[in-house]
Amino acid sequence: MTTTTTTPYRPSAPKRAQVWLANHFAMLSAILVLLYLFLPVAYTFAFSFNDHGKTNIVWQGFTWEHWQDPCGVAGVCGSLVTSLQVGAISTLVATVLGTLMALAMVRYRFRGKAASNVLIFVPMATPEIVMGAALLTIFVQGFSNIGLSLGFTTIVFAHIMFCLSFVVVTVKARIQSLDPRIEEAAQDLYASPMQTFWKVTFPLILPGIAGAAMLAFSLSFDDFIITNFVSGNESTFPKFVYVASRRGIPAEANVIGFSMFVLAVLLVVGAQLVSSVRASKIKE
Amino acid sequence: MSALAHVAGGDPDFDPSGPVPAPTKRSWTAYLLLLPGALWLGVFFVLPLVQLAAVSLQSRYPGFPGYYYRDVNFENYASALTDYAPHFARSFLYAGLATLLAFVVAYPLAYAMAFKAGKWRNLMMICVVAPFFTSFILRTFAWSQILADEGWVAGTLNFLHLLPGGNIINTPLAVVAGLTYNFLPFMVLPIYASLERADPRVIEAGGDLYANGFTTFRTVTLPMSMPGVLAGTLLTFIPAAGDFVNMELLGPQRGKMVGNVINDQFLAVPGGYPVAASLSFTLMAAILVMVFLYVRRFGTEELV
Amino acid sequence: MAGFREASGDLQLESVTKAFGDFTAVDDIDLHVPRGSFFALLGPSGCGKTTTLRMIAGLEQPTAGRVMIGDTDLTGSRPYERPVNTVFQSYALFPHLTIKDNVSFGPKRRKDKDAATRTDEALELVQMTQFAGRKPAQLSGGQQQRVALARALVNHPEVLLLDEPLGALDLKLRREMQVELKRIQTEVGLTFIHVTHDQEEAMTMADTVAVMNKGHIEQLGAPAALYDLPLTRFVANFLGQANTGVGTIKDTDGDHIVADVLGTPVKILKSRSQVLEGEVLFGVRPEKVTVSRSQPDGAGNDVKGVVRDVSFLGVATSYLVDMPSGTTWSCYEQNLDVEPLDLRPGDEVWLTWNPGHAFGVPVDET
């Protein structure tokens, strides 16, 4: 018996580098893009330690001062509280109304469905500035006659409106992925329509509803353009930052902005961990 | 276009003779479920737009800035189109460039997330979304620091003699950079979603058949992700075309975009409402027409 | 339980029709299923069998006709008001509930005081007690199938509906579950209605099989009867294999008719032919045909053909024989002798059969 040993084919070094690059091109560029995404966040973080004078544009020296008293600048914490309140109320209302709409759109057949689809889609295809302008004209020229003046309430009304479509789309996707036979099985097992919804449908679409609520909150919390039109003298956090940017954003705003970022990331990572622990339990 | 079937909500396995499940319930419940949300959209979206349309047709009292009367006056539109044509052109040009750049930047990231990331997929997803939890204005302001004349980006480019004008900040280039950055996740996430649904084996088969990476990409991968690309480009282009914050914080003093004009006319110019309203409507109409043509060309029946 | 209808007795469908727009899925069928029987609805996909099942469950409402159990008219009542439970094709287990909670779902909705005991009994019956605390995603297909069965059985429904319940299982597991299902049905003594497109499955399990096609019931009877004497061309071809040929009835010979099938005269018992004059589709099952090297004497029903293919299967040998008419017959010979026939492709053979084993059905329809 003879054995033939063959030397494995070994390409030249530049060729190998080329192959390696081709295999890892997507991942390498992805990492570069992620770095690009984080660059401004890093700047925001760094400049929260800037010992700045009047303007916080160029680096002038390190200080803990702004982290020790983030509310030290007039208005910054007030605007944050307003933003959190607006976000909470808009998210709650938009999520409830949007979920109901999504249920109607997926689970029912009715006249005017196509028109409803358009009504839900068009707000997402409308530039914010147009929505803001339209809301401003109606608030000033129409609703002020019934005692509604620009401020907290008008901000909330506007935010619910533009969050609604996004909630519908997100929840709709979740309901569509649900096997309708599971609901039929519940009915077959003596559950009334209400019991079917609360015992089966709702728990199964809950992750979609939670995702929609998170999306709604982040849209509301970060909105500036529409808020700027309908807020009157009320200030939200983005509006505070925008107004301040004319004369230099105080580092306290950087502290708050960065803290919100950390908080959100912790929340998301936490949720991920919980679900992966659950998943591994299922696999055991 | 079977690749779009799942986006359009059509069921390719639908068998008319088999059971027809789901939407067979009585319709009045549907109206009940729909009513509160539809009412909200009616009162706070449709009604304001109607009011805006009415305002766009109003006339000003000559000599009384800030006062106007009800009218059917299309002059506002005429002046919107003639006086502000360059602003429209800039808005669409910058938004178009930003969309193109965002596509180029987003695709490799979405591709890597869908096919190469493995267990890192969720982490990458968080990384894509996370920066957007810092306020949008703060991030844009950070770009004004990054791109500033004293900053390292401008410094490096100047050192390499790659910057003819000598600076980036306060130029259209900075505006496009800002727009690209700000709407990037809206490009990444839909592309990722449609790539994730695609079967990687199909792409491997494409690789087998064509051997050449670029040909595989052009003939197999890209068409499969088309629904995502379509959604992504729209979600990037529409807000970018109406944006004024990037121009305000990063752009030049002169040569603004249409968003800036609308904003100023509404909030800073007395009696600016009619012109601003007609500008808003022209912008919205232009975008809807473009979206319509674009969707017709690259076709999917339902985007949402 | 608001609106729950107690009902007991035989299941009856009276002139039931279901149309979806222009498409008539189920066309005026009548069905009588005696209490406690194992009944199979068999047919190709799209024949209306699942729609029929869904109308019994209440998941669809008939366009016309009545659904009754005993003397109680269930037409128009909702699924949750009927003493009927379903085992779904995809199982449709509640993914967010444990196996135990899945099974106790029905009894709890009915506010059954013995829900816990009955759940335990049902899990015992399908041998799934040890998995009670798991979620459906942690179970294999076969295990999920058992849970789906337990979830329905625990309610002691008057009628249990099974919608292709074994469709997703592999062959071996399928065979095991067929035996298991049959055992459980005998044990609990409920009416089982089993929908399937697998004729072998229907024949092994059911007491009575209804063959459906295009919204109609083609034939109904015991599996052996259907196989032995199909009444339509569709049943002849759908249930098992049949060697067929179109012929013209020329003559009668005592108890038989004589048909001319492309030049060959064949006899069919009058009692086994659905047509007595004109065109007839003659048919005979493969195992009823005898293959021999020489022309046997006297029998009458014999044709000469050429062997195309021989497959040795152990207990039997299967032959494909090209006939003079241009068709190919399939024959199935038990290997009773140690010395096989030793035929090879190309050999000439004579095929014979007992005229009493042939059948005749109308030619119409394709």
What pLDDT digit, counting tens, does each position of B72-84 carry? 778 888 888 888 9
Residue recorded with tokens 């429209």: B88
Residue B2 confidence (pLDDT): 29
- Going from the C-alpha of B30 to that of each of A112, A113, A200, B34, the distances in angstroms are 11, 10, 19, 6
- B21-63 tens-digit pLDDT: 444 556 788 899 999 999 999 999 999 999 999 988 887 777 7
How near does any CA of chain A get to the CA of B304, in Å?
6
Q: Residue C85: its chain A contacts at CB < 8 A?
A: 188-189
Q: Are residue A255 and residue A122 in the same domain, yes or no? A: no
Q: Does the beta-carbon distance from C105 to A189 stay under 8 Å?
A: yes
| Residues within 8 A of B (CB atoms), A 113-142 only | 116-117, 119-131, 133-138, 141-142
Q: Residue A181: its chain C contacts at CB < 8 A?
A: 88-90, 92
* Domain map (residue ranges) of chain C: 11-228, 241-361
Q: Are residue A170 and residue A52 in the same domain, yes or no? A: no
Q: Does the beta-carbon distance from B18 to C45 stay under 8 Å?
A: yes
Please give the domain boundaries of chain B with CATH numbers for all domains.
57-298 (1.10.3720.10)
Q: How far apart are CA B18 and CA C90, in angstroms?
A: 14
**pLDDT at residue B18 is higher than 60:** no
How near does any CA of chain A get to the CA of B161, in Å?
23
Of A1-15, A57-71, C172-186, highest mean pLDDT: C172-186
**pLDDT at residue B300 is higher than 60:** no
Residue B7 confidence (pLDDT): 29
Q: How far apart are CA C69 and CA A256, in angstroms?
A: 69
pLDDT band at C2 (very low <50, low <70, confident <90, very high): very low
> What three-state secondary structure class fits A226?
helix
Q: Does the beta-carbon distance from A44 to B134 stay under 8 Å?
A: yes
Residue recorded with tokens 């808005």: B91
Q: Residue C137: its chain A contacts at CB < 8 A?
A: 282
Indicate the helix (H) or strand (E) that contains A209: helix A202-222
Question: Quick one: DSSP state of residue A233?
Answer: T
Give the CA angle between residues B155, B160, B165 to the nearest 5°. Answer: 65
ipTM for the predicted complex comes to: 0.85
Q: What is the mean pLDDT of residues A28-42?
A: 89
**Among A43-57, A207-221, B187-201, B273-287, whose mean pLDDT is lowest?**
A43-57
* Chains in contact with B, where contact requires at least 3 CB pairs less than 8 Å apart: A, C
B190 near B99, Cβ under 8 Å? no
- C45-79 tens-digit pLDDT: 889 999 999 999 999 999 999 999 988 899 988 89
Q: Does the beta-carbon distance from A242 to B137 stay under 8 Å?
A: yes
Q: Does the beta-carbon distance from C79 to A181 stay under 8 Å?
A: no
pLDDT band at C139 (very low <50, low <70, confident <90, very high): very high
pLDDT band at C181 (very low <50, low <70, confident <90, very high): confident
- Name which residue leads in pLDDT, C95 or B272: C95
How near does any CA of chain B get to the CA of C74, in Å?
19
How many Cβ atoms sit within 10 Å of the Cβ of residue C293? 12
Among the partner-chain residues C4, C96, C106, the one whose CB lies closest to the CB of A189 is C106
Residue C241 confidence (pLDDT): 86
Of A86-90, A234-238, B110-114, C300-304, highest mean pLDDT: A86-90
Q: Are residue A179 and residue A42 in the same domain, yes or no? A: no
Residue B4 confidence (pLDDT): 27
Q: Does the beta-carbon distance from C151 to A184 stay under 8 Å?
A: no
Q: Does the beta-carbon distance from C45 to B20 stay under 8 Å?
A: no
**pLDDT at residue B304 is higher than 70:** no
B44 near A230, Cβ under 8 Å? no
Q: How far apart are CA C334 and CA A153, in angstroms?
A: 88
Q: Are residue A87 and residue A223 in the same domain, yes or no? A: yes
pLDDT band at A10 (very low <50, low <70, confident <90, very high): low
Question: Quick one: DSSP state of residue A231?
Answer: -
pLDDT band at B132 (very low <50, low <70, confident <90, very high): confident
Q: Does the beta-carbon distance from B15 to C46 stay under 8 Å?
A: yes
Tokens of C9: 């007795």
Residue C1 confidence (pLDDT): 42
Among the partner-chain residues A125, A128, A229, the one whose CB lies closest to the CB of B288 is A125
- Report the chain C residue with the minimal C-alpha distance to residue A283: C138
DSSP output for chain B: -GGGHHHHT--TT--TTS---SS-B-HHHHHHHHHHHHHHHIIIIIHHHHHHHHHHT-EEPTT-TT-EE----THHHHHHHHHTHHHHHHHHHHHHHHHHHHHHHHHHHHHIIIII-GGGHHHHHHHHHGGGGS-HHHHHHHHHHHTSTTSHHHHHHHHTT--TTS--TTSHHHHHHHHHHHTHHHHHHHHHHHHHHS-HHHHHHHHHHH--HHHHIIIIIHHHTHHHHHHHHHHHHHHHHH--HHHHHHS-SSS--HHHHHHHHHHTSTT-HHHHHHHHHHHHHHHHHHHHHHHHHH--S---
Residue recorded with tokens 């494409």: B206
A168 near A102, Cβ under 8 Å? yes
- Name which residue leads in pLDDT, A18 or A190: A190
Fold of C241-361: OB fold (Dihydrolipoamide Acetyltransferase, E2P) (2.40.50)
What is the rounded average pLDDT for all residues in chain B? 80
- Report the chain A residue with the minimal C-alpha distance to residue B30: A104
- B158-217 tens-digit pLDDT: 777 777 777 788 888 899 999 999 999 889 989 998 888 877 777 777 666 665 667 777
- The residue type of C53 is L
What is the rounded average pLDDT for all residues in chain C? 88
Question: Rounded to two decimals, what is the model's pTM?
Answer: 0.81
Residue C41 confidence (pLDDT): 94
- Going from the C-alpha of B209 to that of each of A21, B3, B219, the distances in angstroms are 22, 20, 11
B25 near C60, Cβ under 8 Å? no
Residue A8 confidence (pLDDT): 60
Residue A84, in any domain of the structure:
yes
- Going from the C-alpha of B85 to that of each of B79, B88, B261, the distances in angstroms are 9, 5, 11
**pLDDT at residue B11 is higher than 50:** no
Cβ neighbours of residue A127 closer than 8 Å, sequence gap 6 or more:
B238, B239, B241, B242, B243, B259, B283, B284, B287
Among the partner-chain residues A101, A124, A229, the one whose CB lies closest to the CB of B33 is A101
Q: Are residue A140 and residue A222 in the same domain, yes or no? A: yes
Residue B134 confidence (pLDDT): 84
How near does any CA of chain B get to the CA of C79, in Å?
13
Q: What is the mean pLDDT of residues C180-188?
A: 86
What percent of chain B is modeled with pLDDT above 90? 29
Q: Are residue A84 and residue A161 in the same domain, yes or no? A: yes
* CATH class held by domain C11-228: alpha beta
Among the partner-chain residues A26, A36, A137, the one whose CB lies closest to the CB of B51 is A137
Residue A98, in any domain of the structure:
yes
Among chain B, residues having any CB pair with chain C shorter than 8 Å are 15-20
Residue count of chain A: 284
**pLDDT at residue A83 is higher than 60:** yes
pLDDT band at B130 (very low <50, low <70, confident <90, very high): confident
Question: C60 — contact with chain B (CB < 8 Å)?
Answer: yes
Backbone angles phi and psi of A8, in degrees to 5: -60, 145
pLDDT band at A279 (very low <50, low <70, confident <90, very high): low
Q: Are residue A254 and residue A233 in the same domain, yes or no? A: no
- C199-243 tens-digit pLDDT: 888 888 899 999 999 999 999 999 999 999 999 999 998 888 889
Q: Does the beta-carbon distance from C2 to A181 stay under 8 Å?
A: no
Range of the domain at A175: 75-237
Q: Residue A192: its chain C contacts at CB < 8 A?
A: 2, 80
Residue A63, in any domain of the structure:
yes
Residue A207, in any domain of the structure:
yes
Residue A58 confidence (pLDDT): 73
Residue A12, in any domain of the structure:
no
Q: Residue C90: its chain A contacts at CB < 8 A?
A: 179, 181
Residue A217 confidence (pLDDT): 92
Question: C167 — contact with chain B (CB < 8 Å)?
Answer: no
Q: Are residue A159 and residue A186 in the same domain, yes or no? A: yes
Among the partner-chain residues A27, A130, A135, the one whose CB lies closest to the CB of B283 is A130
Q: What is the mean pLDDT of residues A5-11?
A: 61
Burial of B26-61, coded b for 16+ CB within 10 Å and e otherwise, reads: eeeebeebbebbbebbeebbebbbebbebbbbbebe
- Report the chain A residue with the minimal C-alpha distance to residue C96: A204
B299 near B4, Cβ under 8 Å? yes
Among the partner-chain residues C1, C59, C88, the one whose CB lies closest to the CB of A190 is C1
Q: Are residue A126 and residue A152 in the same domain, yes or no? A: yes
Q: How far apart are CA C189 and CA C178, in angstroms?
A: 16
How many Cβ atoms sit within 10 Å of the Cβ of residue C95? 15
Nearest of B91, B39, B16 to residue B290 by alpha carbon: B91
Q: What is the mean pLDDT of residues A67-96?
A: 90
Task: Return the CA Rg of chain B.
Answer: 24
Residue B303 confidence (pLDDT): 46
Report the number of distinct structural domains present in chain A: 2
C38-42/C208-213 β-pairing:
parallel
Q: How far apart are CA A117 and CA A126, in angstroms?
A: 15
What percent of chain C is modeled with pLDDT above 70? 97
Residue recorded with tokens 């509006």: A239
- C187-198 tens-digit pLDDT: 888 899 999 988
Q: How far apart are CA A264 and CA A272, in angstroms?
A: 12
DSSP output for C202-235: HHHH-SEEEEEETTEEEEEE-HHHHHHS-SSHHH
Q: Are residue A184 and residue A116 in the same domain, yes or no? A: yes
**pLDDT at residue B16 is higher than 60:** no
What is the rounded average pLDDT for all residues in chain A? 86
